């Protein structure tokens, strides 16, 4: 699969569909067979780059310093990619605890597609000054990814109903915590001011 503008546009349409009609979009996703590499190249990288650009724009608006915005772009891009990759890997490690034996590609699909809502609202939150009303609303909307994740487990995983809530809670925590943890780590390494 070539990395081109059509692929980039498709990633944004898929994200929009996941936000507006997640159940129908998960049914389409369940029929696809992408490798993890293709998933990152055609969906995660363009989406995360877009979100990092939004966050860097917000940083530039409030700091008026280009170098700070560039560092923010790099920090967010690396933190979100590395955080989601590690979240998927750890979800694969904990899946036997929920009596799941699943292909790693399915877990990567579940984590990356459901985290798209988190990434979008995380980037939008940084367009506004910290602790402003709009910033807090965007941070609240970040949690919508949990619903998308829940619907994804219904569509692409064969998991017992009594195990599903625990699995979704654990995967949600990993998706939420790891990108933020890497963002803090990279912010400290690059001496970048910590934000939410």
- Please give the model's pTM, rounded to 2 decimal places: 0.87
Q: Distance (Å, rounded) from C-alpha 179 to C-alpha 96?
A: 23
Q: Which residues contact 77 (CB under 8 A, 6 or more apart)?
A: 48, 49, 52
Structure tokens at 59: 């940083």
DSSP track, 105-171: HHHHHHHHHHHHHHHHHHHHHTTS-TTSHHHHHHHHHGGGHHHHHHHHHHHH----TTTHHHHHHHH
The dihedral sign for the CA sequence 43, 24, 179, 48: positive
Q: Distance (Å, rounded) from C-alpha 2 to C-alpha 20?
A: 27
Q: Which pLDDT does position 193 carry in this prediction?
A: 61
Residues 71-125 have pLDDT tens digits of 889 999 999 999 999 999 999 999 888 877 778 888 999 999 999 999 999 999 9
Residues 27-79 have pLDDT tens digits of 999 898 888 999 999 899 999 999 999 999 988 888 888 888 898 899 999 99
Least confident of 4-8, 90-94, 171-175, 185-189: 4-8
Q: Distance (Å, rounded) from C-alpha 82 to C-alpha 120?
A: 16
Q: Which DSSP category does 99 fall into? A: T
Angle subtended by helix axes 104-125 and 5-20, to nearest 10: 80
Is pLDDT of 152 > 50?
A: yes
Q: Distance (Å, rounded) from C-alpha 23 to C-alpha 84?
A: 22
CB 19 within 8 A of CB 28: no
Backbone angles phi, psi at 27, to 5 degrees: -65, -40
């Amino acid at each position: 699969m070539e990395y081109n503008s059509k692929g980039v546009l498709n990633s944004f349409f898929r994200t929009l569909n996941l936000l507006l009609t997640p159940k129908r979009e998960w049914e389409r996703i369940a029929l696809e067979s992408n490798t993890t590499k293709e998933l990152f190249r055609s969906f995660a990288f363009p989406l995360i780059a877009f979100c990092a650009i939004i966050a860097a724009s917000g940083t530039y608006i409030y700091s008026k310093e280009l170098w700070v915005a560039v560092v923010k772009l790099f920090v967010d891009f690396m933190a979100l990619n590395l955080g989601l990759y590690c979240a998927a890997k750890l979800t694969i490690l904990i899946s036997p605890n929920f009596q799941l034996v699943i292909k790693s590609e399915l877990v990567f699909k579940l984590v990356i597609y459901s985290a798209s809502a988190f990434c979008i609202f995380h980037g939008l939150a940084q367009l506004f000054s910290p602790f402003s009303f709009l910033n807090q609303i965007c941070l609240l909307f970040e949690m919508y990814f949990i619903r998308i994740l829940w619907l994804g487990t219904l569509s692409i995983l064969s998991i017992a109903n009594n195990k599903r809530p625990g699995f979704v809670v654990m995967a949600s925590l990993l998706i939420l915590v790891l990108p933020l943890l890497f963002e803090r780590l990279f912010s400290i390494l690059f001496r970048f001011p910590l934000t939410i």
